[in-house]
Amino acid sequence: MPKPTKGPRLGGGPAHERLILANMAQSLFEHQSIRTTEARAKRLRPLAERLITKAKRGDLHARRQVHAVLSRKDIVHELFAEIAPAMAERQGGYTRITKVAPRKGDNAPMAVIELVMEPVSPKQATVKEAEAAAKRAVKEEAAAEATDAAVEEPAAEVVAEEQAQAGDEAETTDAVEETDANEGADEAEASK
């Protein structure tokens, strides 16, 4: 069960609040921008973004879920046919809330909530990709240095062992040559 939001509701009860938010979402998708109180705009944003995410999926189940919230078929069609393809490159942040002057009658804080229809700029995408590539390169360098350090320590031990073995082999070869020379000398003396 979803957790209810804290604080006073927008309407008299939960059902009335759902209807208010659904009507505001329909108006937002129909007009691309609406002027309302800050509290209502902040409560509308998660609902609108969730509906746009479902519309981006584009399958029948998502269409039925959106239609359960929005009652007008023409708005649902517009959401799936026009708004969702325009938001295809965007990873989130489909709406923008801008504060405006307070309402004249009761001085309530007002805001404009609108759909962000501008395409994602390639410069921002390039900058984000470059930052990610730089982070990956730093991580790879650190990993390579750690690997090189781990390889160098055993390599030094291996070189020392090889040198020791080479020294042992040289001593063994010298001893064998001396033994052969001694045996040759002994044979020469014996044959005399």
Q: Tens digit of pLDDT for each residue in 87-125? A: 988 888 999 999 999 999 999 999 999 999 888 877 666
Mean pLDDT of 148-172: 64
Q: CA 89 from chain center: how many Å?
A: 15
- Residue found by looking up tokens 């509290």 in the block: 39
State pLDDT tens for residues 38-92.
Answer: 999 999 999 999 999 999 999 999 999 999 999 999 999 999 999 999 998 888 8
Give the per-residue pLDDT at 8: 74
Mapped onto helix, strand or coil, the DSSP state of residue 96 is strand
Give the pLDDT band (50/70/90) at residue 34.
Answer: very high
What does the DSSP 8-state code read for residue 35?
E
Contact 21, 47 (CB under 8 A): yes
Per-domain residue ranges of the chain: 14-115, 118-146
**Burial class of residue 66 (count of CB atoms within 10 Å of its CB; 0-12, 13-18, 19+):** buried
Q: What is the spatial distance between Cα 76 and Cα 70, in angstroms, rounded to a whole number?
A: 7
Q: Would the pLDDT of 174 be above 80?
A: no
**More confident site: 37 or 118:** 37
Pick the CATH number of 14-115 from 3.30.390.30, 3.40.50.740, 3.40.50.150, 3.90.1030.10: 3.90.1030.10
Mapped onto helix, strand or coil, the DSSP state of residue 40 is helix
